[in-house]
Amino acid sequence: MGMDVYGIAPTSERGEYFRNNVWWWRPLWDYCCEVDSTLEARVPHGHTNDGDGLKTAEEAQALSLLLLLKLESGEALAYIKERDMEIAKLEWDTCRICEGSGIREDKIGVEGGMPTKELTEDIAILVGRTHGTCNGCRGFGKTEPFASHYPLTEDNIREFAEFLRDSGGFQIC
């Protein structure tokens, strides 16, 4: 699923269209709401693609300016680093495919030879066995926390800010 964001009255090609898949959109929109505390109330459905958005050029340009200032000042990078550190502290999830065993033994796993597959030396040392893997967790039994699948980067913030500047307002579809 993706968020297709269309400019309402674009003044350039850059302001016509912005797209993020849901993994990239959610942290970007969260950050926008973080830097503008009124945004969530003005765009209550910013995490959906039902047409909500900022309807005027002035509103979109104000958010653009705010995002660009946060990038220029280093505040955006500090936010990203803090966010990434918080995610890194989260416990890893039990693998849903092998239920934490590290070895996929269902029909698909058996057909793929996963229970008997020889592990690389580095993984074997870490998991304490020489054979048996899972394509969901590479044999560890744990996967990265779900939150780690939602990236936020300065480049994505900048690209959205530049879209906003020229969008004339926008709708999330």
Tens of pLDDT, residue by residue over 107-141, are 999 999 999 999 999 999 999 999 999 999 999 99
**Average pLDDT in the chain:** 96
Predicted confidence (pLDDT) at residue 27 exceeds the cutoff of 90? yes
Q: What is the pLDDT of residues 41-58, one digit of tens each?
A: 999 999 999 999 999 999
Instruction: Count Cα neighbours of 171 within 13 Å in the Cβ-side half-sphere.
Output: 5
Give yes or no for a contact between 130 and 119, defined as CB atoms under 8 angstroms apart. Answer: yes
Average pLDDT on 145-166 reads 97
Cα–Cα–Cα angle for 15, 22, 59, nearest 5°?
35
Strands of the sheet containing 2-7, edge to edge, are 17-21, 2-7, 170-172
pLDDT at residue 162 greater than cutoff 90: yes
The whole-number average pLDDT for the span 35-39 is: 96
Q: What is d(CA 94, CA 92) in angstroms, rounded to the nearest whole number? A: 7
Per-residue pLDDT tens over the stretch 82-102: 999 999 999 999 999 999 999
Residues 87/145, Cβ–Cβ less than 8 Å: yes
CA 14 to chain centre: 22
Q: Is the pLDDT of residue 8 over 90?
A: yes
The whole model's pTM is what? Answer: 0.84
Q: How confident is the model at residue 2 (pLDDT cuts 50, 70, 90)?
A: confident
pLDDT above 80: residue 1: no
pLDDT value at 170 more than 90: yes
